[in-house]
Structure formats: C-alpha cells, structure tokens
Structure 1
C-alpha cells in the first residue's frame, strides 16, 4: 500500500533578520509545494517580531526546537555566516533538507564536510546564490550564449555602494571576522556569477581591506582579479566608498561588442518596499536602467551604441525556490549545487591568501 505524497513540504526559517524577511519568506510563500511551517527567532523585539508578523506560523526561540520537530521537512538557514556550519550540520543530522544563505561556509573544509553529510543522509543541500536570477545577469548570459559580443577579453562586475560610515556597533557586520568580510558577503555573489559565466579561473589575485576610515579590522571592500586560460581577465569589485548617481554593474568587452550596465537588479528594493512575487512589475527593470550595447555598424564600420533592453519577463528569485520545490518532488536537481558553492568558497580563501601574501596564486580546488 503506497502512501500519498504530501501536498507541500514544511519549511522552517532559522533567523529573522533582513535575509529571512526580505529574500526568503516572501518567496517561500509564493511557491506551491512549500509551506512556511515555523520561524526561529531568539530575540523578538517591538517592530521585529515573527510572532506578530506571522500569527498562523509556529514560532521557536531556539534552533534545536525546529530541528527536533518531526513536522519540519526543510530548514532555511539565515543565521550569521559564522554559524552556518554548525546549524546546517545539525539540520542534516536530524534528517532535514537544507537551504543555506550565502556564504555557504567559512572554509572549504567545512563545505566538504557538509556535502559529505548531505550525501550520507540522502538529504538535499543547496546554497542561496539568488543573484543567478538577477534580470541583468540573465540578459548577459543570453548575450554570451548567442555570441553577440564575440570572444570575451575582459569582464568587470561591481557591487558598489556609498556607505562610508561603519555599521552600528550592535550589528554582527561590525565584528572583525573572516565570515564578515565583504568578499564573503557580496563578493560571493559576484564570484559565483563569474564562474557560472566562464567556469573556474586558472589564477587569482586578491586585494582585501577597508575603505572606511579607521576600518575597525573589518574587510569592508575587495578587488579580485580572475584570469582564465585563453587570456580572459575578470575583475570583481565590492566597495563602500562610491559616490555615484549611477553605480557600475557590468562592463563586458568582446571582439564583436561591449556591454555596459549600471544599477542593480530591482528585486531587492522592491521586496524591501513590500512588493511581492506576482505583483505587477515585480522584477521588471525600467527602461531608464537598461544597459548599452556597442557594436560595429555594418554600413560605416564605426562603433555604434544602442540601448539594450533587460530580459523580460524576468524569472525573478522565485525561480530558486520553484526549482528547489521540484527537486524535493524528485523532478530535477537543486537550483545551486553545493559543490558549486564550495568552489566559490575555495576562490574566496585563495583571494584572501593572495591578499595576505601579496601575489597571484594558481587556482587549486583541493585547497
């Protein structure tokens, strides 16, 4: 006698900071096959209380309570980065499937242990590299897929903001810790995108430090140069001192064309403003934020610049959880394989070591 499959998998979100409230819970609620079962929040406070925001959802004051609950099928780990390893390990050992915010872990060693543990317990493990579903990134992917830019010679990707003042002393981001470094935070997004586009580089050079006066020992910025076999050079830039009307996003130069793009994908700002997946215009970039494509005119053989529309309709970050729900149902792979996220952490460790020793390093995935 076969038992009917559950209509939805119960999801417990561990943590109730910005990541959980903005980047995970709204998406989970929008995807059939997933049910928000519970939220773990250790210290609710007025204006930030999961019990008030989600009265029909179970609340836990400790991680262990969620891991003990036999109704929980999936845990989404939105804790501070340095806690990822222990929480994910505990969840896998309790037989839960796991989504973990980036950065996956602090070290490759930790990532390898978690990957092995997931295989041992036959559980799904994936990492929330949601910016694979930025509309401008998908637009760039399509340009490369169609060879519109020809052979790519250089690739520059930015995540710059003007935040010259340090975060509040009460914030975990103010604590000097490798996991709190800009390269683990925003840098992992950009490195992941670069690897998705071009594969693993052959060499890496890192420059990590603080652009803020005083710094406080926190690496708030990074510049990473990636070199691929064949001559392609990529630059990953994260900065907190960038006073611009339009922040740079991509500059990709090839033998047949150049793409320049400013502004970040709109989904983060829309989610913060209360817009939700399925709302009109969600994820759609306005025309005044489109990139520009420069190619040679077939008539004059001179460079000609045109506005290049961002792909629409956009897949949006919902695609991550839609694919994850399908994987839970046995209908495909997880949206981001943990091995891929592990290789990103490998590049992060190599970049930090390169910055420390002051030289270019060969990329060795066994680090």
Structure 2
C-alpha cells in the first residue's frame, strides 16, 4: 500500500482531535507535519513529523495531500494555493464563505486533476447513520416533515477570536449550520426553496448564534435549528412519515473520546450508550410497533478511507466539492432570506 503523504495547515483543536489521529491510524496515510505559526505542538504528539514555519515551505515539500483546517474565512485562499501547487486537498466546513468561491475551487481541482474533499465528518456520526438507515428502509413511509437540531447551552463567548470577530466566516450558520445542511442534503437532496431566521442571542456577541432554517421540498418540509440557549436538549432528529415517527437524541461519542485522547480503532469505536437509542413508532404489516432501535456504530475513519480510495484508486471523494457548493447555496439563500424576511427560491 503506497502511503499518501499528508500535512495539516494548523495543529489546534481540529488538527489534534479530528485529523491527526485518523491520518496516523490509517495504513494508507503518512503524517508529514503541520504549518504552525507560533505554538509548536505537533511534535509533542508525533515526534518524527515536521513543523513548518511557512505554508510555502509545506507546499514545496514532498506532500501529496493537504488538510485545510484553518478559520473559515481563510479556506478559499489556502485551498486555492494548495490546488495550484498540485496537491490534493481536504477542506473543513464551511467549505468557503460564498458559492462563487466554492464553485471556483471545484473547477480548479478538476482543471488540475487533483482530488478535493470537504470534511463533513458528521455523515459518519452514529446517530445520523441510524437515522439514514431508518429512512432508507422506508420504515416511516413517505416523509412528511423532519426537524434536525444541533443544540447547546453555552452563553459565554468563545475564547477563539476568529469565532467571535465579525468576519465572513464567523457565526453559527457557518459553524454548526454546514453539519445540519449536509446531512439533510444527503437524505433528501436540494430543496426547492429556503426560509431562515438568523439571530444574535448572546450578550455582547458580534456574530450570529441562532438559526432556524426551513427547507421546502415538493412533498415535505425540513427544519434545521441550532443555538446556545438550550439547557434541556430536544431530540437531535425528529422524522415524521405517513406510517410513523422516529426520534433520536444526539449521542455520537467520537468528538468527546478524541478530546480525551482516545485513539480510533475499527472495533468498538463510535459506539453509543444504549440509553441514547432512538424511538421508532410506526406501522408494520398492519401492526403498530413502538420500540427502541439499536444505534449503528459511527466512525470518522470511513471518511479518511474514502479519501484514500479517491486518491489511490481514482474513486469519487467521500464528500465532493459539488456537495460543498450545494451547502453554500443553502447558506447564501438563508442569509438572503433572513435579511429580506422572505422565502428564497433555489
């Protein structure tokens, strides 16, 4: 197996928690190092790798794949440099800050013959994979409505200045919003129209921290909500069909385990507690069933395995640049809708 030489553009929380553990665990990758502007931390965890002082030094090195895990407002600039250098790229969410930027990057990757994937890791959350299975098996009948939540209780501002300074990449719409939007697009495709309410609710906040987005489909509607003042969490997924309903709390353990320093594996990794099982209440062969559904195992490893197959075997990326374009189309429509207080057709 030829290893894909991989470097990060930062080694903060995302590099340490979401990327380096999987790159170092997957047999198809070799972690080469990271661009580190001030704090030099990566060698504390991976002593044999490099710490680059400049992005140009990283791009000039023998690196095949670069992970753009910098603040959102820099994604377009850095991803473009990576692609122009002839490297494959993974770009974190939000993919870019505008649809035009996303489309340009997608076209550039195609022109240069390199792979470009968007890091929408929540497709491989245990809770979402279970929802996806319930819907794909038609256990609810035709879907009438769905509601997805990414709720938290955290009234304090983030200590990370780029998250709380008014800029084109800041705010909950481009932080948690892409997770919710990408999951809905996976299940239902692009909607016909969008209506959104985007607000600031925390004291002294300069960026949006509450979203309520309604997506219109021909025969159903999907609502997406995220905010920081939900002390008692709603179910993360509420799906109603013509035969029944499925309610699932958010339960994926991967982020918490990674923050604790646990290392990914292929056995019990991403296994939720039984108490987090979803409730299925539906009709099956004229019988009414009301039962808990075992949660599928989650694993972000599958995203990186998809990237490996994409580069090594010329397969489609696990999350394509066009997927990223579609997410940005919803985000731009939501911004326009909230500002104009009207439904925006796509």
TM-score grouping bracket, smaller chain normalisation: over 0.9
Judged with a 3 Å threshold, the aligned counterparts in structure 2 of structure 1 residues 243 and 92 are, in CA distance, closer, same or farther, namely same
Say if 2:282 is the partner of 1:287: no
**2:135 is matched with which residue: 141, 144, 150?**
144
Q: Following TM superposition, where does structure 1 have runs of at least 4 consecutive aligned residues deviating by more than 6 angstroms?
A: none
Judged with a 3 Å threshold, the aligned counterparts in structure 2 of structure 1 residues 261 and 315 are, in CA distance, closer, same or farther, namely closer
**SS in structure 2 at match of 1:76:** strand
2:179 maps to: 189
**SS in structure 2 at match of 1:192:** helix
Say if 2:130 is the partner of 1:112: no
**SS in structure 2 at match of 1:19:** helix
**1:202 is matched with which residue: 167, 172, 192?**
192
- Superimposed CA distance per residue, residues 311-359 of structure 1 (whole angstroms, 9 cap, x where no aligned partner): 2xx2510000001111111252111110111110011001011000011
Cα separation, 2, equivalents of 1:143 and 1:280: 23
What is the CA distance between 1:305 and its match in structure 2?
2.6
1:35 maps to: 30
Gaps of 5+ in 2: none
TM-score under structure 1 length normalisation: 0.91
Cα separation, 2, equivalents of 1:278 and 1:305: 33
**SS in structure 2 at match of 1:359:** coil
Cα separation, 1, equivalents of 2:326 and 2:158: 29
**2:118 is matched with which residue: 123, 127, 132?**
127
Are the aligned partners of 2:144 and 2:221 in contact in 1 as well (CA < 8 Å)?
yes
Gaps of 5+ in 1: 1-5
What is the CA distance between 1:295 and its match in structure 2?
1.7
Say if 2:82 is the partner of 1:91: yes
TM-score under structure 2 length normalisation: 0.96
Are the aligned partners of 2:36 and 2:51 in contact in 1 as well (CA < 8 Å)?
yes
2:309 maps to: 326
What is the CA distance between 1:171 and its match in structure 2?
2.5
Say if 2:333 is the partner of 1:342: no
Are the aligned partners of 1:275 and 1:282 in contact in 2 as well (CA < 8 Å)?
no
Say if 2:279 is the partner of 1:306: no
Are the aligned partners of 1:270 and 1:282 in contact in 2 as well (CA < 8 Å)?
no
1:52 maps to: 44
What is the CA distance between 1:156 and its match in structure 2?
0.4
Cα separation, 2, equivalents of 1:282 and 1:315: 7
- For these two proteins, the number of residue pairs brought into alignment is 346
1:172 maps to: 162
1:20 maps to: 15
**SS in structure 1 at match of 2:148:** strand
Cα separation, 2, equivalents of 1:66 and 1:272: 26
2:258 maps to: 271
Are the aligned partners of 1:287 and 1:309 in contact in 2 as well (CA < 8 Å)?
yes
